[in-house]
Amino acid sequence: MSNSRLMKRLKAEIQDLEENPVSNCSAGPLEDNITHWKATIFGPENTPYENGIFKLDIQFQPDHPFRPPKISFITAIYHCNISKSGSICLDILKDQWSPALTISKVLLSLCSLLSEPNPDDPLEPEIAKLLKNNKKEHDSLAKEYTLQYANDNDKV
């Protein structure tokens, strides 16, 4: 894909986010680099992540939208589908990617992942095991993590 097509697509994504903001999320390019974005997800209500502010790094590949963006959590999170290094196990960021997907839809999917973890496809097997066997303890640890790492807007 030519660089000008990529730029056109990313500008359309920015416009879409401005015109149709995603609840509990925001995203946009860093300074003068339209292919490198930062995003923020506010922890969904009635989850252990509630009141947390989670920062993400988004890197669009030169062949976007034919390949998914590389997205990782910067903010530490206790979640079975998100590794300690911030990698995310989400099908639409891997083999279920479609050029029709926008960053808005990806952010919505990430919010859903926070609300509904998938312990059957974990990046963190121990967390998945705890979620399956003792949800109350899992949620308590996730909430503790959220309070420790995701409650200060200035922390990255």
Segment 103-126, tens digit of pLDDT: 999 999 999 999 999 999 999 999
Residue type, 54: F
Strands 53-59 and 70-73: antiparallel
In order of 16, 68, 69, 100, 114, the CA distances from 61 in angstroms are 19, 7, 6, 15, 25
How many CB atoms sit inside 10 A of residue 49's CB? 25
Q: What is the pLDDT of residue 155?
A: 44
Query: What are 52's two structure tokens?
Result: 């947390």
CA distance 100 to 115: 24
Residues carrying an active site annotation: 89
pLDDT digits over 28-59, tens only?
A: 999 889 999 999 999 999 999 999 999 999 99
Q: Is the pLDDT of residue 151 over 90?
A: no
pLDDT digits over 59-86, tens only?
A: 999 999 999 999 999 999 999 999 999 9
SS3 19: helix
Q: Is the pTM of this model over 0.85?
A: yes
Residues 6+ apart with CB under 8 A from 4: none
Q: Is the pLDDT of residue 4 over 60?
A: yes
Domains of the chain (ranges; CATH) run: 3-149 (3.10.110.10)
Q: Decide if 117 contacts 131 (C-beta within 8 A).
A: yes
Among residues 52, 54, 44, the alpha carbon closest in space to that of 116 is found at 44
